[in-house]
């Protein structure tokens, strides 16, 4: 999960080209991986995924306003 987050951060331009799929991927991971469970998972990792999802959502909202 950390490697995926690092890749997303390092490749921001590519991520911005495919925001929806990245958002879906992080959402699915959050729902299905025990390491991302807010009660069972490592809090720092849970917070990192939530922060990336928030960024993606903000980018999507910004892009939809431009169109």
- H helices then E strands: how many in the chain? 4, 0
What are 10-37's pLDDT values in tens digits? 998 888 889 899 999 999 999 999 999 9
What are the Cα distances from residue 34, in Å, to 2, 15, 48, 60, 63? 14, 25, 15, 27, 32
Domain segments of the chain: what residues?
2-66
Determine the pLDDT at residue 64.
81
pTM score, two decimals?
0.84
Closest C-alpha to 48, from 29, 24, 21: 29
């Amino acid at each position: 999960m950390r490697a995926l987050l690092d890749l997303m951060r390092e490749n921001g331009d590519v991520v911005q080209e495919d925001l929806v799929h990245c958002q879906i991927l992080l959402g699915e991971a959050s729902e299905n991986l025990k390491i991302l469970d807010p009660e069972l998972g490592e809090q720092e990792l849970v917070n990192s995924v939530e922060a990336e999802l928030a960024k993606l959502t903000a980018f999507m909202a910004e892009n939809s306003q431009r169109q």
